[in-house]
Chains A and B, each alone.
Chain A
Amino acid sequence: MLLIHCPYCDETLPEAEFTYAGQAHVVRPADPSGESDADWEAFLFLRDNAKGPHFERWRHLHGCGRFFNAVRDTVSDRFLTTYEAGLPRPDLSTLTEDQP
């Protein structure tokens, strides 16, 4: 069972308190009706299938209830970092597996 650091609670807690919520930084357009079919399809359906660091969302469901973002390495299954929703993507080159 993974340990996950909730950036809002600032606690590292067992995976069982959290739920996965899909890829991160997929922004819903401000005016969806102005989107082309292709752009809307990309927003709805097209997702990365990263081997390595993956930006993804988690929710501290059985805790503070907040959605937050994480970078997880899909090969080692380690969290490289977690950060609050709305913050920009962290620089991957600064991340190591030793972060909480």
Chain B
Amino acid sequence: MSSHRVAGKGRIDTTRPVSFTFDGRRYSGAAGDTVASALLAHGVHLMGRSFKYHRPRGPVTAGSEEPNALIGTRRGPGRFEPNTRATVQEIWQGLETTSQNKYPSLKWDVGAVNDAGYMLFSAGFYYKTFMWPKSFWDKVYEPFIRAAAGLGVSPSEDDPDRYASRNMHCDVLVVGAGPTGLAAAHSAALAGAKVVLVDEHAEMGGALLSDPDVQIDGAGAWTWLASRLAELRALGVRTMTRTTAIGYYHQNLVGLCEKLTDHLPDLPADTPRERMWRVRAKRVVLAQGALEKPLVFHGNDRPGVMLAGSAQTYLNRFGVLVGKAPVVLTSHDSAWFAAFDLADAGAKVQAIVDTRDSVRDDLRAGASARGIEVRLSHTATGTSGRLRVKSLRVAPLRADQVGAATEIACDAVLMSGGWTPSLHLFSHTKGSLTWDDTQTTFLPKDTPEDCHIAGASRGLWGYEAALVDGDKAGREAAQALGLKIAAGRFEVAQDRTGSGVSHRELPSDRSPARSKAFVDFQNDVTAKDLRLAVREGMRSIEHVKRYTTNGMATDQGKMSNINGLNIAADALGKPQPQVGLTTFRPPYTPTTFGCFAGYHRGSHFEVTRKTPIDGWAEAHGAAFEPVGQWRRAWYFPQPGESMDDAVRRECRATRESVGIFDASTLGKIEVMGPGAVEFMNRMYTNPWTKLGIGRCRYGLLLGDDGYIRDDGVIGRLGQDRFHVTTTTGGAARVLNTMEDYLQTEWPDLDVWLTSTTEQWATVALNGPNAAALLAPLVEGVTLSDDDFPHMSCAECTVAGMPARLFRISFTGEVGFEVNVPAPMGLRLWELLWERGRQYGITPYGTEAMHVLRAEKGYIIVGQDTDGTVTPYDTGMSWAIGKKKPDFVGMRGLARPDLQAPGRKQLVGLLSEDRSKLEEGAQIVFDPNQPVPMKMVGHVTSSYDVGTSGRPIALALVEGGHDRMGEIVHIPMPDRTIAAKITPTVFVDPDNARLKL
């Protein structure tokens, strides 16, 4: 038996020993222990160092609100988790755990010098200290902060675990399976509702697990609990343990994180580590209970100082005496019961020190019967002990004057500053709160959600009150769903009711400046810090919180918020409700990224769209680039080639003979119907009425503001049918825009829009030999300038496949784009590849495509334009149907600013020193002007691997169209480059190469 284990106590199974390690040392525990309870059973309180001062710390709680006992847990490679609460983590055979924030060891820590420098590290320390000199940031301050900050150590390996996500629908979701939640689930289920009951602990029962002597309906609490749980299951209630309701979202959507494997010695092959449940409940009952508050006094963070209710939990649930000679320090009745339970289990309770001047007779009688000394009207002014509390210094209070102090020797201090209703999920609903002066706390008021809150979480105290209120909440939830049930009845004996008072920091004879009375244990925030923040001008609780970091740690101020508020309100001289409470936000407790990500990781993180020819490109060594959700062949390097080598070769081959390009990702929209021509006239800048069947036109799409949104070649395949192409990344956006105008502005038009992007595979052939290669395969069209000139389109047969053939060019060479049904795309590609060998056919990727088009001055929307560029700015006024009464963007183009002189216009740039300009580089007219210089434009496209014999660039330059031949300057970090403004077309300005 471990030194502090009490035989016959607790719900652990001592017949099933479990061994685990903490900081390399082996400890034994029992099945059902948490890391904290197992270590406490060995008398170990010291479990970590604090975040800022590296002060030795032990557990203050027995639950998920624990601020101090944060540990790392390990289960082999990749399975390390920092900041696990030792009070929640169940032990299993072989578990490895480590303490945090210590160097070189937990007992001897170098960082504890911060503690000695306490006067320096006060509120706003970071804001004040690291301000200047500016040059210190990179080399001094940031490395210091990075080394000192952070809680625990991040895992560095990939997470090998799997995480699942599920949806659930139910009539009533009950959060919290203490007496309130059990009663609520029972009445709702009896009424016929489909009920789900969740609890974050390993077993259900809540406070009942820590109070076995309470009698309910004639049975002990644990017997009643077991039969009630059996009854709930028989009623069809779904019960979920180790399941935390992390957030309450709109319209009764509650997120649950269910932990499935963290407590198991062996990982089952078929079970995820965690499961995220998205529960849409018709009604929600919140029964989260209440959280005990610490008392704020000098040295209240020493290992061995713990919440009284938690000591009671360690005893009754885990069979552990947290101290053999504890002293109880309280302002609430509940701690008296903790004292009684510990005394009855063999502890020598040194004293019950109560700040109040009178307490109930039955409590005094209970103390007297156990021979426990009682000191009323007393305050605590300090503790002693280095790694474990050795004594509590107490002093009598007379009319708020602190009298002569005495030391009480002890090995634990069990404190209680009263209880705070857990309002976290209620606050997530935007529920309003009301201040209760009697209890010195906020209570829930109204919520916009279909939500009930019951029991201790609305300030009720005692088991009977909780059961009755839970029963009522379950009944009301059922009633809201049209189900009826009579009120339940509960016979409760030996109930533990109580009340108390709330304090700011306890009165002390110690200088406030030298007092380390902690409010937020996790972030090391003291009462002094909060008062200092107010003195330095913080007025709102939100400012005080951020300046001091009170309540900003991973426990979100579960223990510190109300104490912090009481102190700040006092310092501000205002009542608490006028100071207000900071906002609780999801998640309720720290939740893994894995749980949120669920299945969406690795290749499932985002869709990768691939064309039918993608596999061929991969087999032929293509390098790929992402374009929107597509992965596109970027270039096809041959052995030993750099990217530049490959792109240069691909460009040359296309200009000299024939290149083949996978254009399947181009967006394609079929526009059909009697109103199709009118629709096209209204959508695109160009005129479409006179475009003949079998002809194509470059179409430009603007927003109503007049700026370029998209472009693409559009073919007219019939009187009522257009084959519209869009940019690869713009397809969905263009279709959405078209649908918007069609559905909501022009419902008079009889038009259907269909996305056909993935129905067609598109193979582009470009180069002087493109026609010679393709012609023998085409049936129904003669590939001559007379019969099928540039900008023609036709439905025909290519290599026996039904095809839509376009003669268009995005390279400046003779070009064809063959669309065949997607499943035939690879067959067409391979056939052209085979038959093209005689011409030295070369596959080219998106990079060569970009170079070849830039040499012709063809824009890429989104690269050469940025949402503030008009067709006039890009020199494409020819694309505008000026006789049309309207099109999207026509009125926008007439806006004064879009007509004003000095707009940035698209031009070519040739660097004087023949160097390649950097895309995105800023342009100035006068390189000798003082900094900051006036920037007059930027480089939009730049290449030096093309066929024009020198690097080329496109740029947007103020008034560029009227500055042909002028020199502009591009300041770079190492030099300033001069460049000449030119037209945008660098190759074949007369388009002679487009002819056969």
Contacts and interface: CB of A to CB of B under 8 A. Distances in A.
Contacts of B891: 32-33, 35, 40
A97 B450 CA distance: 12
Interface in A1-55: 1-3, 19, 21, 27-28, 31-33, 35, 37, 40-41, 43-44
Contacts of A37: 895-896
B602 interface: no
Contacts of A97: 448
Contacts of B890: 32-33
Contact of B739 (A44, A67, A76): A67
A-B pairs, 10 with minimum CB distance: A32-B891, A28-B745, A67-B743, A85-B744, A3-B251, A2-B250, A67-B744, A1-B253, A33-B891, A76-B448
B255 to A, nearest CB: 10
B250 A77 contact: yes
7 contacts: A1-B278, A21-B740, A33-B890, A33-B891, A40-B891, A40-B895, A44-B704
Taking each of B251, B705, B895, B896, which has the highest tally of chain A beta carbons within 10 Å of its own beta carbon?
Answer: B251
Given A44-B705, A86-B744, A31 B886 contact: yes
A100 B892 CA distance: 39
A97 B250 CA distance: 13
A86 B747 contact: yes
Given A28-B704, A33-B885, A33-B886, A67 B740 contact: yes
Nearest to B250: A2
A33 B739 contact: no
Contacts of A77: 250
A65 interface: yes
B678 to A, nearest CB: 14
B105 interface: no
Contacts of B886: 31-33
Contacts of A61: 736
A61 B743 CA distance: 13
Contact of B885 (A21, A31, A35, A85): A31
Given A33-B894, A59-B736, A85 B743 contact: yes
B794 to A, nearest CB: 31
B249 interface: yes
B745 to A, nearest CB: 5
A33 B747 CA distance: 21
Contact of B250 (A1, A31, A59, A67): A1
Contacts of B736: 19, 59, 61
Interface string B877-920: 00000000110001110111000000000000000000000000
A65 to B, nearest CB: 7
A66 B249 CA distance: 27
Interface in A59-95: 59, 61, 65-67, 76-78, 85-86
A33 B891 CA distance: 5
Contacts of B885: 31, 33
Given A1-B278, A32-B704, 10 more contacts: A1-B250, A3-B250, A19-B736, A31-B885, A31-B886, A35-B891, A40-B891, A41-B895, A61-B736, A67-B739
A15 to B, nearest CB: 8
Interface residues of A, number: 28
Nearest to B891: A32
Interface in B230-273: 249-251, 253
Contacts of A78: 448
A89 to B, nearest CB: 15
Nearest to B704: A44
Contacts of A57: 744
Interface residues of B, number: 24
Nearest to A29: B891
B743 A44 contact: no
A41 B739 CA distance: 23
A85 B739 CA distance: 13
A61 B755 CA distance: 13
A80 B448 CA distance: 13
Contacts of A67: 739-740, 743-744
A57 B572 CA distance: 46
A40 to B, nearest CB: 6
Nearest to A4: B251
Taking each of B448, B744, B885, which has the highest tally of chain A beta carbons within 10 Å of its own beta carbon?
Answer: B744
A41 B895 CA distance: 9
A27 to B, nearest CB: 8
A3 B169 CA distance: 14
A22 to B, nearest CB: 9
A96 to B, nearest CB: 13
Interface string B719-738: 00000000000000000100
Nearest to B745: A28
A76 B432 CA distance: 12
Contacts of A1: 249-251, 253, 278
A98 B156 CA distance: 49
A87 B979 CA distance: 58
A2 B448 contact: no
B894 A44 contact: no
Nearest to B255: A1
Contacts of B894: 33
A2 B430 CA distance: 14
A63 B754 CA distance: 15
Contacts of A19: 736
Nearest to B430: A76
A23 B674 CA distance: 30
A35 B886 CA distance: 12
A33 B892 CA distance: 9
Contacts of B745: 27-28
Given A32-B890, A33-B886, A65 B704 contact: no
A85 B892 CA distance: 25
B887 to A, nearest CB: 9
Nearest to A43: B704
A21 B250 CA distance: 20
A28 B890 CA distance: 13
Nearest to A3: B251
A62 B894 CA distance: 36
B250 A44 contact: no
A65 B740 contact: no
Contacts of B430: 76
A78 B736 CA distance: 26
A27 B743 CA distance: 13
A73 to B, nearest CB: 10
A44 B892 contact: yes
Interface in B519-556: none
Taking each of A1, A76, A77, A97, which has the highest tally of chain B beta carbons within 10 Å of its own beta carbon?
Answer: A1
Nearest to B252: A3
Nearest to B742: A67
Contacts of B895: 37, 40-41
A3 B448 CA distance: 15
A19 B740 CA distance: 12
A76 B782 CA distance: 66
Contacts of A59: 736, 739-740
A62 B15 CA distance: 57
B811 to A, nearest CB: 35
Nearest to B705: A44
B257 to A, nearest CB: 17
A24 to B, nearest CB: 9
Contacts of A76: 430, 448
A68 to B, nearest CB: 9
A65 B738 CA distance: 12
Nearest to B884: A33
A41 B743 CA distance: 23
Contacts of A86: 744, 747
B269 to A, nearest CB: 32
Nearest to A61: B736
Interface string B267-290: 000000000001000000000000
B581 to A, nearest CB: 20
Contact of A2 (B251, B743, B744, B896): B251
Nearest to A24: B744
Contacts of B251: 1-3
